[in-house]
Structure 1
Amino acid sequence: MTPRTISELLREHGDREFLVTDGGRYTFAEVHDLARRFSTLLREKGIQKGDHVAILAGNSAAYVVAWFGSALAGCVTATLNNMLLAEGMRYTIDQSESRILICDRAWIDTSHKHLDKRQKDLPLVAIESEAAFFDMLRTYAPGEETMLPITEPLAILYTSGTTGLPKGVMNSQATYYRSGAQAVRLLELTPDDNVMVVLPMFHVNPQMMGTMSCLVSGATMVLRPRFSASAFFEDAERFGATGCTFVGTILSILVNRHRGDQKNHKMRFCFGGGAPREVWKVVEDRFGIMVYEAYGMTELGGWTSCNSRTVRRFGSCGKVRDDIELIVVNEHDEPVPPGVNGEIIGRPRVPNAVLSGYWNKPDKMVESCSNLWFHSGDLGSYDEDGFLYYHGRIKELIRRGGENISPIEIESSLIQMDGIADCAIAGVPDPVMDEEIKAVVVRKDDISPEDIIAYLSERFPRYMLPRYLEFVDSIPKTANEKVRRELIKTIEPPVIDLGAKSIDRGKPVSAGQEAAG
């Protein structure tokens, strides 16, 4: 598989429809033409080959054109989280060493004022609207393409940074191509497919799993402004979507929101990671959509393993891509047998299948690698047939009374309870148990702590039942729908101490004691 450039792929598919938004429908050729005109704009703004261009904007065709246009000008795009505020926003702009800001009107009106003086002096290109942006670009002549070598970074994507300052992951154009081509093979994509993308474009999922799979296959990308549970199936039907990408809790939210069958659509697949078993089954049974459950990281080619239509195992993350190698190891980097949990580590089998490094943080790259393997920080296991299973982030596991407890496992069950709109689980320090379990719940009906404990007691052993409970209006999450657990660990009022209530949580016992009892 020889990697191909964005320009080559845009030219190949020409007059086929590439992008569909609320603002219009655009062919591959139209996007290519507008991207070349954007490259001219950058040059006239003094931006040179090798410079970094920051995009801070919501989902639109203008975002894709600015990203591709920056590549055609030989620039590296820093696709920054436009939802960050204050210090987080200023940090990523500075750390990426961006020389120009491409921003939509919503970001300019709400966030530009929070920049420091130096950042406010950076050149800025405004996306007033999709149509206005393209009308403006058409006043520029299409520029000559001066792309960086395909092995050089195409974009810098920042990790969520929930446990420290974000790191800028550098992925080359070749890495993007390999991810897209592997997805095309996996999903059996054709030019007749319409892939709906609802996640923010600064995230690896819509970039590699969505945009690149359509760019490689000639399929159409239906780009929505944001994820909307209420409008999801209406949009799928209206745009003739044949598939979508997902991440985090999106499928859980859809299952919770739509209690009946939803099959008035053409969707045959959903491609992503984080589908709990209960949700996976409901999506396939009630929605009629096959779940392509994957495991992936921004650093490891976007996604590394996935179930396919023909090779799949319920509850697993499928088989590993043929251009990436993954093993599960103990604390000494020694492979563990099937069925034993350990850290997932990976490396490429071919050139440019994974990240080329962290921007301006070579020390962090060194920290992440040992024995020539990239260490994911994720807990996983293989079964006897080589299917990979994901068990959560190692640092997110709750250590209670000698037991390791996955917060995702409890969340995946609790979200299915009637009366609950959203939930999250976290560990909080405890002098006796090491950690105790806290549940944070968004109610849509009047349910009590006793109702919640009764529900969980039917599904989990006593040592996995929450000690603390808090009712909130919303769960703090990253823009990628990942729970920000560091923000829900407080136990001050109005947090309810279930241990002080007349609720039988049982004594803090180990799994072995529970089974014996």
Structure 2
Amino acid sequence: MSGTVVDALTWWARTVPHHPVIDFDGDVVTYAELDSWSDGVATGLRERGIGRGDRVGIVGANSLEWCVAAVAAWKTGAVACGFNQRFRAGELAALVSLCEPAAVFGATEQLDVLHEVRDSGAEFTVLDLGEVVGAARGVAHPPVGAFDADPDDPTAIVFTSGTTGTPKGVVFTHRTIAGVVHEWSLGEPVAPNDLRVLLVLPMFTAAGVIWGLARSVVQGGTMHLQPRFDPPRALEVLRDARITTFTGPPILFEQVAGVAGFADTRLDHLTTAWVGGARVPVPLLERWRPRGVALRQIYGQTEIGGTATAMSAEGAARHPDRCGWGGPLTRVRVVDLEGRDCAPGEVGEILLRGPGMFPGYWRNEEATEQALRGGWLHTGDLGTLDEQGLLAYVDRIGEMINSGGLKISPAELETVIAQVSGVGEVAVVPVPDAKFGETPAAVVCADGELDPAGLVAFCNERLADYKVPRYVIAHDGPLPRMASGKIAKRDLRAAYADAPARFPRVR
């Protein structure tokens, strides 16, 4: 592989110039328009001395300008670095210090924060995203000169804090992006220009810049980008645009299924409905099946390109707790503490290797060596492989609750508790216990009237007694979430660290 995302854009701009590449909530940009628009912005970056290997930051909500800025950075040979637009100056400064961008595009509402970060000592040029990028739209720009790309050049950095809170920059190269898209196209074949992706997650995530923008451009598809996740609007786009691909955590599918009119909507054109980030409740599968959609559980991490395994449409109904086999070119192992492959059904750490495996964390050799020891991505997740080689996710290694020497999986409890009447959202976190060291507490956002005693009784019928939560905490409002849509358990652990002093035990 010697090409880049930019090469793919050039190809499609020549062969299907009028085909839409991005539909931003009705504002459509074609391949020819994106090619020329990004040429204009890339020329401006080159005039500022920005070139191969430099980092270009982008901070702002989902927009056409965000996408064009990323493509323009790629056209100069620079590395696109998306920043969370909700970050305060201190949080943003940590990422700026890590990647040292030459320039940062900022939406109008982020400019004050960017100037604050720069004034604190960081050296970079602040560019108004709307003014600089928007001014180049609709003008015929000459092609920007090509750069000498190497397949292993970094082309994007996606920042992930995971459960630790420590920012790490996952590096994507031209080779890994091509590998991710190629493997996806083998497992989920789609005719050229027929790919239609609905993206409601932020552009600065891997779901946005890699699985949304880069994949759509490489495959000649269309990314239907939304400013934010709005369930009624998402259902409307799914239906009217005949979306073929929609991926995200269970909450996206749950909220779309709650929209009035969902039960009367046929969605059988949605052939790739992948659900990740948490176990998929069986009732959720059953709500989408009559709509002609098979929700399929996946497993992956940003460090493997986003997705490593996906359940088949046929297998999803038979094995709702399984995440599938590895992709056509991805291998999956489950190993014990000594690195030996576990027997079928035995819990161990999930290891991955495939074309989307990242080369390392940006300027963090220690973390890279730890994650990639032995040539495999050590995920830090626990899982099992059955006799057929199907993967089942158990939990994060660091999130297992050790109650008196007995290990408890929060994910297992959450799957059971989510079936209790009155439970809207649930997260199980450890809290201190004088006798057992720590014990599970169920933090619940109620969807109706919550009966803690009934919840405990429900769990008693389905779980060993030591797994049943000793505390049921009614959380005020929706549970906090990270940009990926996953529940922010780190925040909940901090908020309820003193739960035994504030809440009564329910058993």
Common fold: TM-score over 0.5: yes
**Change in 2 beyond 3 A, CA 1:390/1:118:** same
Which stretch shows the higher mean deviation, 462-471 or 190-199?
A: 462-471
Distance in 1, matches of 2:485 and 2:239, equals 24
Which stretch shows the higher mean deviation, 206-215 or 319-328?
A: 206-215
Equivalent position of 1:219 in the other structure: 221
Query: 1:85 Cα shift?
Result: 2.4
Aligned-partner SS, 2:477 = coil
Which stretch shows the higher mean deviation, 64-73 or 119-128?
A: 119-128
Check if 1:292 corresponds to 2:291.
Answer: no
Aligned-partner SS, 2:127 = strand
Structure 1 gap segments, 5+ residues each:
506-517
Q: Given that residues 467 and 497 in structure 1 are in contact (C-alpha distance below 8 angstroms), is that contact kept between their aligned partners in structure 2?
A: no
**Change in 2 beyond 3 A, CA 1:447/1:400:** same
- Within 5 A, what are the aligned runs for 1:465-476? 465-471=468-474, 472-476=476-480
Distance in 2, matches of 1:231 and 1:409, equals 32
Equivalent position of 1:13 in the other structure: 12
Deviation by residue 1:19-43 (Cα, 9 ceiling, x = unmatched):
1112511122221222222211111
Which stretch shows the higher mean deviation, 446-455 or 328-337?
A: 446-455
Residue of 201, 204, 207 corresponding to 1:202? 204
Equivalent position of 2:332 in the other structure: 326
Residue of 72, 75, 81 corresponding to 1:72? 75
Equivalent position of 2:253 in the other structure: 251
Distance in 1, matches of 2:344 and 2:331, equals 16
Q: Given that residues 10 and 32 in structure 1 are in contact (C-alpha distance below 8 angstroms), is that contact kept between their aligned partners in structure 2?
A: yes
Equivalent position of 1:47 in the other structure: 50
Q: Given that residues 421 and 442 in structure 1 are in contact (C-alpha distance below 8 angstroms), is that contact kept between their aligned partners in structure 2?
A: yes
Q: Given that residues 336 and 342 in structure 1 are in contact (C-alpha distance below 8 angstroms), is that contact kept between their aligned partners in structure 2?
A: yes
Distance in 2, matches of 1:416 and 1:56, equals 39
Query: 1:358 Cα shift?
Result: 1.0
Equivalent position of 1:32 in the other structure: 35
Query: Number of paired residues?
Result: 495
Q: Given that residues 296 and 302 in structure 1 are in contact (C-alpha distance below 8 angstroms), is that contact kept between their aligned partners in structure 2?
A: yes
Q: Given that residues 347 and 374 in structure 1 are in contact (C-alpha distance below 8 angstroms), is that contact kept between their aligned partners in structure 2?
A: yes
Distance in 2, matches of 1:216 and 1:139, equals 23
Distance in 1, matches of 2:111 and 2:80, equals 19
Query: 1:189 Cα shift?
Result: 1.9
Deviation by residue 1:163-208 (Cα, 9 ceiling, x = unmatched):
1411111111110111112222222222223211111111112333
Distance in 1, matches of 2:260 and 2:438, equals 35
**Change in 2 beyond 3 A, CA 1:38/1:206:** same
Q: Given that residues 181 and 216 in structure 1 are in contact (C-alpha distance below 8 angstroms), is that contact kept between their aligned partners in structure 2?
A: no
Distance in 2, matches of 1:134 and 1:451, equals 60
Query: 1:491 Cα shift?
Result: 4.5
Distance in 2, matches of 1:417 and 1:231, equals 29
Query: 1:439 Cα shift?
Result: 1.7
Residue of 291, 299, 309 corresponding to 1:305? 309
Equivalent position of 1:370 in the other structure: 373
Equivalent position of 2:351 in the other structure: 345
Q: Given that residues 54 and 79 in structure 2 are in contact (C-alpha distance below 8 angstroms), is that contact kept between their aligned partners in structure 1?
A: yes
Distance in 2, matches of 1:279 and 1:128, equals 43
Equivalent position of 1:512 in the other structure: none
Aligned-partner SS, 2:85 = coil
Equivalent position of 2:103 in the other structure: 100
Query: 1:272 Cα shift?
Result: 4.1
Query: 1:403 Cα shift?
Result: 2.9
Aligned-partner SS, 1:261 = helix
Aligned-partner SS, 2:303 = coil
Distance in 1, matches of 2:68 and 2:432, equals 48
Q: Given that residues 196 and 222 in structure 2 are in contact (C-alpha distance below 8 angstroms), is that contact kept between their aligned partners in structure 1?
A: yes
**Change in 2 beyond 3 A, CA 1:8/1:116:** closer
Equivalent position of 2:168 in the other structure: 167
**Change in 2 beyond 3 A, CA 1:330/1:293:** same
Aligned-partner SS, 2:228 = coil
Query: 1:260 Cα shift?
Result: 6.4
**Change in 2 beyond 3 A, CA 1:305/1:493:** closer
Equivalent position of 2:270 in the other structure: 267
Aligned-partner SS, 2:230 = coil
Q: Given that residues 307 and 316 in structure 1 are in contact (C-alpha distance below 8 angstroms), is that contact kept between their aligned partners in structure 2?
A: yes
Distance in 2, matches of 1:259 and 1:282, equals 16
- Within 5 A, what are the aligned runs for 1:384-403? 384-403=387-406
Q: Given that residues 251 and 275 in structure 1 are in contact (C-alpha distance below 8 angstroms), is that contact kept between their aligned partners in structure 2?
A: no
Distance in 2, matches of 1:478 and 1:327, equals 28
Deviation by residue 1:251-296 (Cα, 9 ceiling, x = unmatched):
3444566796253444233124234242552254244312232211
TM-score normalised by length of structure 1:
0.87
**Change in 2 beyond 3 A, CA 1:475/1:309:** closer
Amino acid in the other structure paired with 2:130: E
Q: Given that residues 63 and 227 in structure 2 are in contact (C-alpha distance below 8 angstroms), is that contact kept between their aligned partners in structure 1?
A: yes
Deviation by residue 1:362-418 (Cα, 9 ceiling, x = unmatched):
111112233332211011111111111111211111222333222223223434444
Aligned-partner SS, 1:408 = helix
Q: Given that residues 55 and 101 in structure 1 are in contact (C-alpha distance below 8 angstroms), is that contact kept between their aligned partners in structure 2?
A: yes
Equivalent position of 2:453 in the other structure: 450
Q: Given that residues 101 and 125 in structure 1 are in contact (C-alpha distance below 8 angstroms), is that contact kept between their aligned partners in structure 2?
A: yes
Check if 1:133 corresponds to 2:134.
Answer: yes
Aligned-partner SS, 1:438 = strand
Q: Given that residues 422 and 450 in structure 2 are in contact (C-alpha distance below 8 angstroms), is that contact kept between their aligned partners in structure 1?
A: yes
Aligned-partner SS, 1:333 = coil
- Within 5 A, what are the aligned runs for 1:276-291? 276-279=280-283, 281-291=285-295
**Change in 2 beyond 3 A, CA 1:76/1:197:** same
Which stretch shows the higher mean deviation, 21-30 or 194-203?
A: 21-30
Q: Given that residues 65 and 130 in structure 2 are in contact (C-alpha distance below 8 angstroms), is that contact kept between their aligned partners in structure 1?
A: no
Equivalent position of 2:153 in the other structure: 152
- Within 5 A, what are the aligned runs for 1:496-511? 497-499=503-505, 503=506, 505=507
Check if 1:354 corresponds to 2:353.
Answer: no
Query: 1:310 Cα shift?
Result: 6.1
**Change in 2 beyond 3 A, CA 1:384/1:330:** same
Amino acid in the other structure paired with 2:25: D
Structure 2 gap segments, 5+ residues each:
none
**Change in 2 beyond 3 A, CA 1:441/1:264:** same
Query: 1:493 Cα shift?
Result: 6.6
Q: Given that residues 424 and 440 in structure 1 are in contact (C-alpha distance below 8 angstroms), is that contact kept between their aligned partners in structure 2?
A: yes
Residue of 404, 407, 411 corresponding to 2:410? 407
Distance in 2, matches of 1:174 and 1:457, equals 50
**Change in 2 beyond 3 A, CA 1:493/1:345:** closer
Residue of 473, 476, 482 corresponding to 1:478? 482
Amino acid in the other structure paired with 2:344: P
**Change in 2 beyond 3 A, CA 1:443/1:494:** farther
Q: RMSD across aligned C-alpha pairs, in angstroms?
A: 2.8
